[in-house]
Amino acid sequence: MMASDFEPAGELKFGQVGIANLRVRTLDVERLGAEMRERVQRAPKMFERAALVIDFGVTAPRLPRRRPRRHPSLPRRPLCRPRRPRDSRA
């Protein structure tokens, strides 16, 4: 068995207001489905009316952060000044 076989395919937590949060750790749909079926079978009443939030953030690729580049044709400063607030006296 590989080390990844011991890691859960998804991490399921319930919040205080009855919202289930499923953090997906793999895109292996069969494995994730089997784990979730097993959990629901163990406690079916808990999932009967629960809302579910699915978080795919862990599976997203980590890209290096880059600083946005200014196009050379754009001016270094804004073309106009920000507006001053109007005087509220009528």
DSSP 52-68: EEEE-TTTS--PPP-PP
Element (H, E) at 32: helix 29-42
Overall number of domains in the chain: 1
Task: State the pTM of this model.
Answer: 0.53
Is 61 inside a domain boundary?
Answer: no
Domain range for 49 is 8-55
Mean local confidence (pLDDT), 5-32: 83
Q: Which residue has the higher pLDDT, 88 or 39?
A: 39
Measured CA distances, 39 to 12, 42, 50, 55, 68 (Å): 9, 5, 13, 18, 44
Is 39 inside a domain boundary?
Answer: yes
Q: Is the pLDDT of residue 27 over 60?
A: yes
Is 72 inside a domain boundary?
Answer: no
Is 33 inside a domain boundary?
Answer: yes
Predicted confidence at residue 2, as pLDDT, reads: 46
Is 88 inside a domain boundary?
Answer: no
Is 21 inside a domain boundary?
Answer: yes
Is 85 inside a domain boundary?
Answer: no
Q: Is the pLDDT of residue 7 over 60?
A: yes
Tell me phi and psi for residue 9, to 5 degrees: -75, -25
| Residue-wise pLDDT tens digits, 28-61 | 889 999 999 998 899 888 888 888 888 888 777 7
Is 34 inside a domain boundary?
Answer: yes
